[in-house]
Amino acid sequence: MIKGISHITFIVRDLDRTANFLEGVFEAKEVYSSPTVKYFLLNDLWIALNKGVPLPGRTYNHIAFTIAESDMDEYIKRIEAAGVEIKQGRARNEGEGKSIYFHDFDNHLFELHTGSLYERLNH
């Protein structure tokens, strides 16, 4: 039986640059570092960075984190300070929640979302 997500791994070109991104945008805490790997905790979520060849292009494959709608402006400031572009979101139905989409430096897409699955299904 699956108990939950163990960790998320991203392959990145520059460990330190992505570490600064995770710390600045998500307030992730670095807990381990070597020349080829860095581990972070984002609340209780383990995020691993492995040095390597990143994704060759951008897709809609992404990871979404839940945030409070009242925190959206703060996250937009953090994302802009990190030097990455905020993407135009898709059209949404009323009640689906709001989202911020942005790629990191290695073509990984992130979403910060204010809604839940149950709210979406109820609409």
CATH number at residue 13: 3.10.180.10
Query: How far are the Cα atoms of 92, 96, 116 from residue 123, in angstroms, in the given order?
Result: 11, 7, 11
Report the domain count for the chain: 1
Q: What would the pLDDT profile of 62-120 be if each residue is shown by its tens digit?
A: 999 999 999 999 999 999 999 998 988 766 667 678 889 999 999 999 999 888 778 77
> Does residue 24 belong to any structural domain of this protein?
yes
- Distance of alpha carbon 114 from the chain centroid: 14
> Does residue 2 belong to any structural domain of this protein?
no
Structural domain harbouring 82? 7-122
Is the pTM for the entire model greater than 0.85?
A: yes
Catalytic residues: 111
> Does residue 1 belong to any structural domain of this protein?
no
Query: How far are the Cα atoms of 6, 96, 105, 117, 120 from residue 19, in angstroms, in the given order?
Result: 20, 31, 11, 30, 33
